[in-house]
Structure 1
Amino acid sequence: MKQVQLITSHLYSEFADRIKYSNSIYILTSFVMKSGVTLLAPLLREAADRGAEIHICTGDYLFITQPDALDLLESINPNIEIRLFKSNGKSFHPKAYLFQAKEENGSYIIGSSNLSRSALTTGTEWSIALSEQVDPEVFREALTEFQKTFLHANTIPLNKETLKEYREQYDKYHQKNPNLVRQWSAAEEEGMMLPERPKEETGEKIAEAVAPYQTISPRPSQVEALNMLQNTLDEGYDKAMVVMATGLGKTYLAGFFAQNFKRVLFIAHREEILYQAKRSFLHIMPDKTAGIYNGKSKEGETDFVFASIYTLGMQRHLEVFESDSFDLIVVDEFHHAAAQTYQKALDYFKPKFLLGITATPDRMDGKDVYAICAGNVAYQIHFIEAIQNQWLAPFHYYGVYDDTDYKQITWLGNRYDEEELLAVQLKDEMAEKVFNAWSKHKQTRTIAFCSSIRQANFLSSYFATRGVKTVSLNSKTVEMSRGDAIRKLADRQLDIIFTVDLFNEGVDIPSVDTLLFVRPTESLSVFTQQVGRGLRLHEDKNYCNIIDLIGNYRNADIKMQLFNTQPSGEKRPGTVIPTAPAGCVIDFDLEAVNLLKELQRIKQPRKEKLREAYFELKRELGRRPTYKEMHLQGNAPSQEIRQEFKTYVGFLYWMDELSEFEKQAFLKHEDWLIEVEKTGMNKSYKMVLLKYMLSRGVDRWLDPVTPEEAARYFHCYLTEKNFRKIIDFSDKGTKQLWEFNEKKVSRLIATMPMTKWSGSSNGMLTFKENTFKVNTAISEESKLFLYNWTYEITEYRLKDYFAKKENKRLLVN
């Protein structure tokens, strides 16, 4: 096989040769046609059957990709991972095919060929095939870039649910545009190609070395967190998460905690975080060895391994390590789109402990970290609490009214149309508005966050004409390095740096005392990270000024959640502007206050939010989520389901997610489901008893039960994990039960769950003559449904109960 090869026809034969010897196959194509999938299906099936890792990413641009082609792809082999890139109308035109073998060199083919029969056989196409030997560095870069696209925020997993949704969108688009793009037959695919559009600018990040702290002693917040993590270990947890405000040293905390373990795997989604973490760990433990495992470096034999999820997400790299290679795994905060790949790695490894770290204070943005850590929060500190402890600098927040009408700008699902947004932003009157707000509230050193490189360049040029020392710093900046810009800002040779997303994570510029936001806020997580850039303590500043232009854009009010530390259930109805904590200022233009109130008034109703969160998770899982999954991974508080619908099954009924048989079973047994859902739980005992009954199986779970029969299971469940034992078996009357005593445990069961539950259930449950019984008749056709629903509620309530009790105990401590 040649190292460099020009291919102008019959690409299929080249694919066939490479697929046969490949252990990893990665396909990135702008669209797929049924004819092309039919051609490659036998080859892909054979490769998947022998265990090859196959990732395929295609797009929905102009809805050219055929639903039938996706259906066929999805049916080849369940181990083939397929993701669909949601282009939102933006050009998506990659055509790249990468092949790797364990023993041989890899190769890749890049050219004009999409996945259609004509492109792979007789069509006029040009492609270049290159061997890994030509330039190993470029080959590794191609693999990494593939993974970044495959796990991009705009991609969704292909499954029955997402395919059904795509088919509906496809049909709707073609009905509206019958002459633009039509249903092509295999013959009509011949020569069909769309013109390329100019490459879009991106906010690519640039790594920069960060100086380590001067001491290696834990800070006060880290001491608190380490103590709580140690308690978590002592109580038998094997996973937990820590939520710490930006600036408190999450990475160093992980390093201090890692001193308890021999080998550590640190996983992150950005290269600079890996290198920063490596420096931090070695600063704490200079006698240890540390290595980077990413597209360029494969240092996997060290004490500490810092791995990119984009590399670790490939099966061949996972299998470099034994499943028990690491005692501790640390997962840095990661993007929602990458959750499945994180789970793939975490399912593979069997560490003694899993630690998730994040700065995000809101469950909505941190849900994936919550899920992989089973909802167990070992330590949490809001950035306002850190300010009150004098661990971070106070802030003065200024909400400046922006009269731009964002309703006229097209919303593309997760962002505004860039060209339409720029048409508003790149105007002198808008730049003057930004300049005036900055001039009024600025201090000495400013970082300004923009929505695009073009906006950053425009504002930088405008400010420069007004005598301001400024630079637009982004991936395309050539006149000044990132390091130089940071140093010049610190030395006051620059007044302001305009950027897009360069300073979201992993960068410390403690002297920054002003933040300027001139972009619509689309993510609370990103806003949180950006605010954190200005809150580092520094001798030259007393507080940080936050200047925020607020218009009627989507999610404008979501940022206010960052400044409100009250639990959701304690927030006063109608409250829009949070109260400023001691030492801080929150000041809004009157027009901005009125705007936020109006946005809250017309906010999406709670039921519709729950519906949206449910279907988002269903698309991700490819099936109906369980109650527990909705609790851990859903993008909405699970308690709102009970508040609105009494039961999770009632919620499914409202959304028409139940079959006709399920609907009949639900209506007949709704009272029982409500009873299981709402019965009080000062202890976990009721649900533990019900869990035992369910353990007897579908046919026997409703059989009467005695305290003696349940005693052994009841005791084992509450003592097998230290945290359960401490929470529910540590008071004066139950601590004696740490050692099993059937008579005493049986007496407890009879007194607590059986007697108390039967007394509060209005006859639905009874406890007579030492026998506990559920008084409901179930038909044969309802039996399995009711068993599964009861099981889901029980699992959810136990998970929710222990998480709340543990968090409450942490707060008290």
Structure 2
Amino acid sequence: MFKLRDYQQETVDNIYQSMKQGNRRIIVQQPPRTGKTVIMAEIARKTTDKGNRVMFIIHRKEVLAQAKATFRKQDVNVNLATMGMVQTLTRRVNKLVEPQLILIDEAHHAISNSYRRIINAFPNAYILYFTATPIRTGHDQLDQIADDIIVGKSIKWLTQHHFLAPFHYYGLGDIDRSKLRKQNGDYSSQSMDEAINHQIYGHIIQQYQRLANGKQAVVYCHSIESAKKVSEQFKSIGVRAAEIDGNTEPQVRDRLVQEFRDQKLMILANVNLFTEGVDLPNVDCVIMARPTSSLALYLQFSMRCLNPRRGKTAIIIDHVDNFLNFGLPNNDRDWKQAIVTKDKRKSNSNDDTGPAIAQCNYCFGTFYRTDIHDSCCPLCGHELKTETKDYKIVNVDLQEIKENQAVEHRKKMIQQILNDQVMANVADKSPGQLHTLKELQAYAKLHGYSTGWAWHQFNNRRKKKW
């Protein structure tokens, strides 16, 4: 059995408290990578231990298989559990045995007719809607099917307490966002084709080598053709990579995923996979090569690499400036307002999702303005010029950041890293992670800083110690 973490047990306790207050249809918000399936399994175990029936609903086969394994490990009485995909259960709803509790995973989908058919068939059941992002594109929100929401710990809190890995975020801007057009709730494939810079495939390789060389990475692409191009580009430099999409034969897909888990593959370029639920524990880097207008997808993309490990700092490389829509993954978000159908929201509510963020025009690192110290980029230490833009996020029409003269510098940087072991050791670190004068000097040389920069940094740290 799994032993629940303190924050998971707190969520379970809050759910039962809400039920005692008379709520029967409850949204349970938990960020990605925080074990909501374990929470559901524990609630299912408690339910079946009392002789009550439970139903678990999900919309993806891969997630269903993993959930069944988790429920078995948690000693759920499977004879009292119905577990299936919504597509199957909605067709068989008249033949299903009535449950006392319904658990719905990825419940931001649950307002659709296929889910409602099941919900309406069992009016006496308690229903728990689990989701990382209780918000939908369009007008109607989850307040139409729920009467309470339990909000989990924030991503910042989970990171501070080592349940999620810290990350560095880089925005590259290989896209003309003015060409993006929505279709069925997200950007159309044709508009993404037109918007994305065709040089992105080369840039993906360059930036991976610069920022995440040697790390296992998942690349999110907008089309099968683009995913195959990315995979071939990585193979051309000797990095083991594979392309995978919804048309990939199931046995081939399972084999490639297992090879990635076994670290036989370094890169998985995918289309519309590895968003919800699928377990890939050793991802250290995410590369976003497709834009999205969906906050749910953005958080699933960007947080895929945040499984913690001692000493790990994840790398998120955003080639399509998704951060202009949504801020950084750890923005604080008002989920209680998010579930309210738009014309019922408070009049003073707005769509500002978090604090102002800035971007270094040297390393393209993206960070909160409050993290800036001594007018220097917190990621690379480069002095931030006055033209560095300060963004208030969620304006999709903001001008994307253009690449500048740093492209040539990067090529030289990569060659220097290959030729100098000390530089290789400091290449993916921030100045705050450097300890010796030699490391600071290598970092200064790598980034083209003046010779006095390393001495200045080293002496300042010595003074602070005294």
Normalising by structure 2, what TM-score?
0.68
Structure 1 vs Structure 2: percent identity of aligned residues? 25
- Which residue does 2:241 correspond to in 1? 470
Pair 398,216 (structure 1): closer, same or farther in 2 beyond 3 Å:
same
Q: Is the 8 A contact 2:201 2:230 kept in 1?
A: yes
1:342 maps to amino acid: Y
Q: Which of 406, 410, 435 is the matching residue for 2:205?
A: 435
2:368 maps to amino acid: T
Q: Is the 8 A contact 1:521 1:556 kept in 2?
A: no
- Which residue does 1:356 correspond to in 2? 129
Pair 413,237 (structure 1): closer, same or farther in 2 beyond 3 Å:
closer
1:519 maps to amino acid: R
Q: Which of 497, 500, 505 is the matching residue for 2:271?
A: 500
- Which residue does 1:544 correspond to in 2? 314
Q: Which of 148, 154, 160 is the matching residue for 1:388?
A: 160
Q: Is the 8 A contact 2:135 2:141 kept in 1?
A: no
- Which residue does 2:85 correspond to in 1? 308
Counterparts of 2:387 and 2:135, CA distance in 1:
23
Counterparts of 2:128 and 2:73, CA distance in 1:
20
The equivalences for 1:53-132 within 5 A come to none
- Which residue does 2:285 correspond to in 1? 514
Pair 594,258 (structure 1): closer, same or farther in 2 beyond 3 Å:
same
1:575 maps to amino acid: A
Counterparts of 2:17 and 2:83, CA distance in 1:
26
Counterparts of 1:574 and 1:502, CA distance in 2:
30
Counterparts of 1:474 and 1:234, CA distance in 2:
44
SS at match of 1:563: coil
Mean Cα deviation higher: 360-369 or 501-510: 360-369
Greater RCO, CA 8 A, separation 6+: 2
Q: Which of 344, 350, 356 is the matching residue for 1:575?
A: 356
- Which residue does 1:64 correspond to in 2? none
The equivalences for 1:412-423 within 5 A come to 412=183, 414-419=185-190, 421-422=192-193
- Which residue does 2:105 correspond to in 1? 332
- Which residue does 1:255 correspond to in 2? 41
Q: Is the 8 A contact 2:331 2:353 kept in 1?
A: no
2:36 maps to amino acid: K
Counterparts of 1:516 and 1:590, CA distance in 2:
27
Q: Is the 8 A contact 1:520 1:556 kept in 2?
A: no
Counterparts of 2:292 and 2:67, CA distance in 1:
28
Q: What whole-Å deviation, never above 9, does each CA across 1:434-472 have from its counterpart, x for those lacking one?
A: 221221111511111111111000111122112222111
Q: Does 1:319 align with 2:94?
A: yes
Q: Does 1:270 align with 2:60?
A: yes
Q: Is the 8 A contact 1:393 1:544 kept in 2?
A: yes
Per the TM alignment, residue 409 of structure 1 is displaced from its structure 2 partner at its CA by 5.7
Q: Which of 300, 316, 322 is the matching residue for 1:529?
A: 300
Q: Is the 8 A contact 1:384 1:581 kept in 2?
A: no
- Which residue does 2:11 correspond to in 1? 225
Q: Is the 8 A contact 2:357 2:369 kept in 1?
A: no
- Give 5+ residue unaligned stretches, structure 1: 1-214, 290-301, 604-813
RMSD: 3.7
- Which residue does 1:455 correspond to in 2? 226
Pair 399,590 (structure 1): closer, same or farther in 2 beyond 3 Å:
farther
Counterparts of 2:294 and 2:130, CA distance in 1:
18
Counterparts of 2:115 and 2:250, CA distance in 1:
38
Q: Is the 8 A contact 2:186 2:292 kept in 1?
A: no
1:388 maps to amino acid: Q
- Which residue does 2:23 correspond to in 1? 237
Pair 408,474 (structure 1): closer, same or farther in 2 beyond 3 Å:
closer
Per the TM alignment, residue 593 of structure 1 is displaced from its structure 2 partner at its CA by 6.6
The equivalences for 1:534-683 within 5 A come to 534-539=305-310, 542-551=312-321, 557-560=324-327, 562-565=329-332, 567=334, 575-577=356-358, 579=368, 594=389, 600=395
Pair 409,270 (structure 1): closer, same or farther in 2 beyond 3 Å:
closer
The equivalences for 1:693-732 within 5 A come to none
Per the TM alignment, residue 490 of structure 1 is displaced from its structure 2 partner at its CA by 3.9
Per the TM alignment, residue 408 of structure 1 is displaced from its structure 2 partner at its CA by 4.1
Pair 307,492 (structure 1): closer, same or farther in 2 beyond 3 Å:
closer
Counterparts of 2:155 and 2:353, CA distance in 1:
21
SS at match of 2:112: helix
Q: What whole-Å deviation, never above 9, does each CA across 1:254-279 have from its counterpart, x for those lacking one?
A: 11112332100111122222222222
Q: What whole-Å deviation, never above 9, does each CA across 1:484-522 have from its counterpart, x for those lacking one?
A: 333433444322111112211222222111111111122
Kindly tell me the number of residue pairs found equivalent between the two proteins: 364
Mean Cα deviation higher: 517-526 or 475-484: 475-484
Q: Is the 8 A contact 1:414 1:522 kept in 2?
A: yes
Q: Does 1:284 align with 2:74?
A: yes
Pair 372,488 (structure 1): closer, same or farther in 2 beyond 3 Å:
same
Pair 268,592 (structure 1): closer, same or farther in 2 beyond 3 Å:
farther
- Which residue does 2:409 correspond to in 1? none
- Which residue does 1:46 correspond to in 2? none
Q: Is the 8 A contact 1:397 1:585 kept in 2?
A: no
Q: Is the 8 A contact 1:445 1:490 kept in 2?
A: no
- Which residue does 1:378 correspond to in 2? 150
Pair 303,365 (structure 1): closer, same or farther in 2 beyond 3 Å:
farther
SS at match of 1:396: strand
Q: Does 1:398 align with 2:170?
A: yes
Pair 547,512 (structure 1): closer, same or farther in 2 beyond 3 Å:
same
2:67 maps to amino acid: A
SS at match of 1:260: helix
The equivalences for 1:166-205 within 5 A come to none
Per the TM alignment, residue 474 of structure 1 is displaced from its structure 2 partner at its CA by 2.1
Per the TM alignment, residue 423 of structure 1 is displaced from its structure 2 partner at its CA by 5.9
Mean Cα deviation higher: 508-517 or 377-386: 377-386
Q: Is the 8 A contact 1:396 1:585 kept in 2?
A: no
User: Which of the pair has more CA radius of gyration?
Assistant: 1
Pair 240,366 (structure 1): closer, same or farther in 2 beyond 3 Å:
farther
Counterparts of 2:353 and 2:42, CA distance in 1:
40
- Which residue does 1:150 correspond to in 2? none
Pair 477,312 (structure 1): closer, same or farther in 2 beyond 3 Å:
closer
Per the TM alignment, residue 532 of structure 1 is displaced from its structure 2 partner at its CA by 2.7
1:381 maps to amino acid: K
Counterparts of 2:186 and 2:19, CA distance in 1:
41
Counterparts of 1:457 and 1:249, CA distance in 2:
32
Q: What whole-Å deviation, never above 9, does each CA across 1:275-329 have from its counterpart, x for those lacking one?
A: 222221121115x22xxxxxxxxxxxx3000132222323xx221135xx21111
Q: Is the 8 A contact 1:329 1:355 kept in 2?
A: yes
Pair 559,585 (structure 1): closer, same or farther in 2 beyond 3 Å:
farther
SS at match of 1:533: helix
Q: Is the 8 A contact 1:395 1:585 kept in 2?
A: no
Pair 596,550 (structure 1): closer, same or farther in 2 beyond 3 Å:
farther
Q: What whole-Å deviation, never above 9, does each CA across 1:611-668 have from its counterpart, x for those lacking one?
A: xxxxxxxxxxxxxxxxxxxxxxxxxxxxxxxxxxxxxxxxxxxxxxxxxxxxxxxxxx
1:558 maps to amino acid: N
Pair 413,282 (structure 1): closer, same or farther in 2 beyond 3 Å:
closer
Counterparts of 2:144 and 2:353, CA distance in 1:
29
Per the TM alignment, residue 224 of structure 1 is displaced from its structure 2 partner at its CA by 1.0
- Give 5+ residue unaligned stretches, structure 2: 335-348, 359-366, 372-376, 399-466
Q: What whole-Å deviation, never above 9, does each CA across 1:37-58 have from its counterpart, x for those lacking one?
A: xxxxxxxxxxxxxxxxxxxxxx
The equivalences for 1:741-756 within 5 A come to none
Q: Is the 8 A contact 1:267 1:308 kept in 2?
A: yes
Pair 234,447 (structure 1): closer, same or farther in 2 beyond 3 Å:
same
